[in-house]
């Protein structure tokens, strides 16, 4: 049977994944990650201090925070910058908090020392799955940045305890699909975003019906697809980092 998907992918098939390192030379670590036509610059910058609230409260260790934005030309219709509106929109706030939670789930803040790891994710081109691409690429940027501290003997050991990646899944026309492109996400009756560590532990599962409901079996189907895709993404991350760190 021919695939019902516009790009002819199988139901459980990821879009082509591309990763270009060192896209932002002034960052401590950076990648340009692609999930199909979606492109996101993920940059990690290490600042040798912690937020004021940590100093005031005597909280030990370091911190990680994330920012996310969609550049005006990343969508078919120009998207105004948040600064032009005078505030962050709710979607932006939600996504950058999600990125921060995902990375902190695999980061030992005590081992980070008195440093802040800034994660900046900027969407160059949006075709669905920008938040999942951002999380997957942000981990890579963070790992490259931390390697610089390790090489400089500024850290005694790697504070990252595991890898982390994210992928979407959804139900379109009654069928469950992995890694939704924009048109699939737009028309989906149910969509989900799943964040998981390389060891297979869930960090976050977001699932909702779009003017629809879904059954327990459908949810399990979406989780099964996501787990398959996330294992593949973890393998891609490992292969990329092995190649990059061997070069160093």
Q: What tens digit of pLDDT does each residue of 180-216 get?
A: 999 999 999 999 999 999 999 999 999 999 778 999 9
In the predicted structure, residue 231 carries a pLDDT above the cut 90: yes
The model's pLDDT over 108-138, given as tens digits with 9 standing for 90+, comes to 999 999 999 999 999 999 999 999 999 999 9
Print the domain residue range for 103: 17-247
For residue 143, being part of any structural domain is answered with yes
Q: Are 62 and 46 in contact (CB under 8 A)?
A: no
In the predicted structure, residue 244 carries a pLDDT above the cut 80: yes
For residue 2, being part of any structural domain is answered with no
Cα(208)–Cα(179) distance, integer angstroms? 15
In the predicted structure, residue 246 carries a pLDDT above the cut 90: no
* CA nearest neighbour of 180 among 133, 247, 224, 213: 133
The model's pLDDT over 28-70, given as tens digits with 9 standing for 90+, comes to 999 999 999 999 999 999 999 998 998 889 898 999 999 999 9
pLDDT of residue 2: 64
pLDDT of residue 75: 85
For residue 9, being part of any structural domain is answered with no
The model's pLDDT over 143-178, given as tens digits with 9 standing for 90+, comes to 999 999 999 999 999 999 999 999 999 999 899 999
The model's pLDDT over 61-111, given as tens digits with 9 standing for 90+, comes to 999 999 999 988 898 888 887 776 777 788 899 999 999 999 999 999 999
pLDDT of residue 242: 96
For residue 233, being part of any structural domain is answered with yes
Q: Which residues, in sequence order, are CB contacts of 22 under 8 Å at separation 6+?
A: 30, 31
pLDDT of residue 210: 79
Longest CA–CA span in the chain (Å) reads 63
For residue 11, being part of any structural domain is answered with no
First-to-last CA distance in the chain?
A: 47
For residue 35, being part of any structural domain is answered with yes
CATH classification of the domain holding 61: 3.30.230.70
Q: What is the DSSP letter of 107?
A: B
pLDDT of residue 248: 62
Sheet containing 175-178, strands listed edge to edge, beginning at the edge strand earlier in sequence = 175-178, 164-172, 190-197, 202-209
List, as one string, the DSSP characters of 64-118.
EEEEEEE-GGGSSSPPPPHHHHTS--HHHHHHHHHHHHHHHTTB-TTTT-S-EEE
Tokens 């979407």 label which residue?
A: 168
CB crowding 215-248: b at 16 or more within 10 Å, else e: eeebbebbbebbbbbbebbbebbeebbeebeeee
Structural domains counted in the chain = 1
pLDDT of residue 206: 94
pLDDT of residue 98: 97
> How many residues does the structure list for the chain?
248
For residue 5, being part of any structural domain is answered with no
């Amino acid at each position: 049977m021919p695939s019902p998907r516009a790009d002819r992918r199988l139901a459980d098939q990821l879009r082509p994944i591309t990763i270009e390192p060192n896209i932002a030379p002034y960052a401590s670590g950076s990648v340009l990650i692609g999930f199909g036509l979606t492109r996101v610059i993920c940059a990690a910058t290490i600042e040798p201090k912690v937020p004021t609230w940590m100093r005031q409260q005597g909280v030990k260790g370091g911190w990680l925070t994330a920012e996310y934005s969609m550049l005006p030309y990343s969508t078919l219709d120009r998207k105004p910058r948040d600064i032009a509106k005078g505030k962050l929109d709710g979607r932006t706030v939600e996504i950058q908090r999600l990125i921060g939670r995902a990375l902190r789930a695999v980061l030992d803040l005590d081992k980070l020392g008195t440093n802040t790891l800034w994660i900046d994710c900027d969407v160059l081109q949006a075709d669905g799955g920008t938040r999942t691409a951002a999380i997957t690429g942000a981990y890579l940027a963070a790992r490259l940045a931390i390697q610089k501290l390790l090489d400089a003997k500024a850290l005694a050991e790697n504070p990252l305890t595991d890898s982390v990646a994210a992928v979407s899944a959804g139900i379109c026309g009654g069928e469950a699909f992995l890694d939704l492109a924009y048109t699939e996400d737009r028309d989906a009756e149910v969509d989900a975003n799943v964040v998981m560590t390389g060891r297979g532990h869930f960090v976050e599962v977001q699932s909702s019906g779009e003017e629809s409901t879904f059954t327990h079996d459908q949810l399990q189907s979406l989780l099964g697809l996501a787990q398959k895709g996330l294992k593949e993404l973890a393998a891609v991350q490992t292969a990329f980092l092995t190649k990059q760190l061997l070069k160093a």
